[in-house]
Amino acid sequence: MKVGITCYPTYGGSGIVATELGLELANRGHEVHFISYANPIRLDADTPRIYYHEVEVSTYPLFQYPPYSLALASRMAEVAERKKLDLLHVHYAIPHSISALLAQQMMASRRRLPFVTTLHGTDITLVGADRSYFPITKFSIEQSDGVTSVSEYLKQRTVEVFGVENEIRVITNFVNCDIYRPDRDRYPAIPGVPDGAKVLIHLSNFRPVKRVADCVRVLERVRREVDAHLVLVGDGPERGPVERIVQDLNLVPNVTFLGKQNHVERIIPRADVLLLPSELESFGLAALEAMACGVPPVATRVGGVAELITHGEDGYLEAVGDVDAQAARVSELLSNGPLHQRMRDAARLTALTRFCSGMVIPEYIRYYEEVCSR
Ligand code: GMT
């Protein structure tokens, strides 16, 4: 098939899922055209059958807000026509599915151009529910030829919040279990981590919803019992405040900020526990990536996270903000070798048996075929 994929190309779970999906499709012989304002961050543009089409947004003194959605729609229609795309697949409803709808209408006199919208989380739970975007988000879901969501939780939220009646297919996030694997000595040690220290890791875009500061508070408690070091991967608006908390708690030598990283599969296997203390997660992709690397997550019991992590088996789930409980779980894992190993194995097994790309990508392909043949 020839598929056009649009996503937010910067750091964030939805862009990562879209990029990994494109790469997996291309590796299976499909032709994939990324249409966005920047090259998606994890995309290796040299991959055969992967193409990138940049959306240029011209500015004009009249535009206080340059109309990206319109430039994107024009580019989608042009690429679809020129490259004979079978369908468009947009990640994150706003504004991508509205641009796809416009592109579809621009093409309508020539041929049908179906589009699939994948809902990822805040497009429904935060942005879409905002009064200024609610009607257009609802409309974009209703107008999509196919809608998928990354968890049952998000599907239910979408129905509750928007009252939409069209089918929403749950296709969970996935991980390439050959690339993300437990082989911890395959890659160099993480800079700044002292020999012998247990490693807690957190990966995110450092937005308030991720509660990154809780990771530091957990570290502070864990260090009362275990020699532990915290590795923070990613960047975003909360980085400054988190750096201040690290200083205030006298933890500067015990925390490494790695910033944005392209190859997290080379870093995660060196960790002992993943922290995901989010206020909300529709899925929790970082936890899945860690589990595939045999790193058990200590996360919060929110959104769709319980669909991924089975409490006490392949990770732990505690209440949002309960850093004492989260720290107790981390300490328990780090001081009980057999328990830790059991959870490492169970986490890897969950990734292998339920969320491997080999199982999930065919679901997307079947769904594309279904949507195209309607
Ligand atoms: O920014 C967002 O909240 C949207 C998105 C992103 O781009 O990071 O995150 C969501 O999509 C991920 C991939 O499907 C999920 O793993 C995350 O749980 C979800 N984030 C939230 O629900 C807060």
331 pLDDT band, cuts 50/70/90, is very high
Distance CA 47, CA 195 (A): 37
**Residue 170 forms part of a structural domain:** yes
**Given ligand 1 and candidates 8, 17, 120, which is best to mutate, with the most ligand atoms within 8 Å of its CB?**
120
Q: Give tens-digit pLDDT for 268-290.
A: 999 999 999 999 999 999 999 99
The reported pLDDT for the residue numbered 10 is: 80
Tracing tokens 């879901």 back to the chain, one arrives at: 141
Tracing tokens 């928007």 back to the chain, one arrives at: 162
59 pLDDT band, cuts 50/70/90, is confident
pLDDT exceeds 70 at position 297: yes
Same structural domain, 70 and 199: no
Q: b/e string for 4-17 if b means 16 or more Cβ within 10 A?
A: bbbbbbebbbbbbb
Same structural domain, 212 and 198: yes
Cβ-Cβ contacts under 8 Å for 231 (sequence gap 6 or more): 190, 193, 199, 200, 201, 202, 255, 256, 258, 267, 271
Comparing 7-11, 94-98, 125-129, 245-249, which segment has the lowest mean pLDDT?
125-129
**Residue 112 forms part of a structural domain:** yes
Same structural domain, 349 and 233: yes
Range of the domain at 6: 2-174+357-373
Same structural domain, 266 and 165: no
- pTM (global) more than 0.85: yes
**Interval between CA 94 and ligand 1 midpoint (Å):** 13
**Interval between CA 227 and ligand 1 midpoint (Å):** 32
CATH code assigned at 154:
3.40.50.2000
Same structural domain, 156 and 265: no
Q: Give tens-digit pLDDT for 183-208.
A: 888 888 999 999 999 999 999 999 99
**Residue 179 forms part of a structural domain:** no
The reported pLDDT for the residue numbered 296 is: 98
The reported pLDDT for the residue numbered 126 is: 73
By the 8 A CB rule, do 241 and 214 touch?
Answer: no
**Interval between CA 237 and ligand 1 midpoint (Å):** 16
Same structural domain, 224 and 330: yes
Given the DSSP bridges, would you call strands 169-170 and 31-36 parallel, antiparallel or unpaired? unpaired
Distance CA 155, CA 145 (A): 16
Comparing 104-113, 120-129, 140-149, which segment has the lowest mean pLDDT?
120-129
**Residue 196 forms part of a structural domain:** yes
The set of protein residues with a Cβ atom below 6 angstroms from ligand 1 is 12-15, 17, 120-122, 150, 173, 209, 280-285, 303
Comparing 57-66, 241-250, 325-334, which segment has the lowest mean pLDDT?
57-66
**Interval between CA 14 and ligand 1 midpoint (Å):** 6
Measured from the CA of 209, which atom of ligand 1 is nearest?
Answer: 23
**Using N-to-C axis directions, what is the helix angle for 239-248 and 212-222, rounded to 10°?**
20
Same structural domain, 19 and 145: yes
- Residue 295 tokens read as 């790193």
Same structural domain, 227 and 331: yes
Number of domains in the chain: 2
Measured from the CA of 122, which atom of ligand 1 is nearest?
Answer: 3
**Residue 309 forms part of a structural domain:** yes
By the 8 A CB rule, do 351 and 180 touch?
Answer: yes
Q: Give tens-digit pLDDT for 31-53.
A: 999 999 998 888 887 899 999 99
Q: Give tens-digit pLDDT for 162-185.
A: 999 999 999 999 999 999 999 888
Same structural domain, 212 and 350: yes
Mean pLDDT of 228-239: 97
Dihedrals φ, ψ of 53, to 5°?
A: -120, 115
* Neighbouring C-beta atoms of residue 48, cutoff 10 Å: 8
Same structural domain, 193 and 141: no
Q: Give tens-digit pLDDT for 69-84.
A: 999 999 999 999 999 9
pLDDT exceeds 70 at position 128: no
Same structural domain, 117 and 265: no
Distance CA 163, CA 13 (A): 25
Measured from the CA of 285, which atom of ligand 1 is nearest?
Answer: 16
Comparing 85-99, 128-142, 231-245, which segment has the lowest mean pLDDT?
128-142
Distance CA 346, CA 178 (A): 17
Cβ-Cβ contacts under 8 Å for 242 (sequence gap 6 or more): 206, 212, 213, 215, 216, 232
Same structural domain, 88 and 138: yes
**Residue 317 forms part of a structural domain:** yes
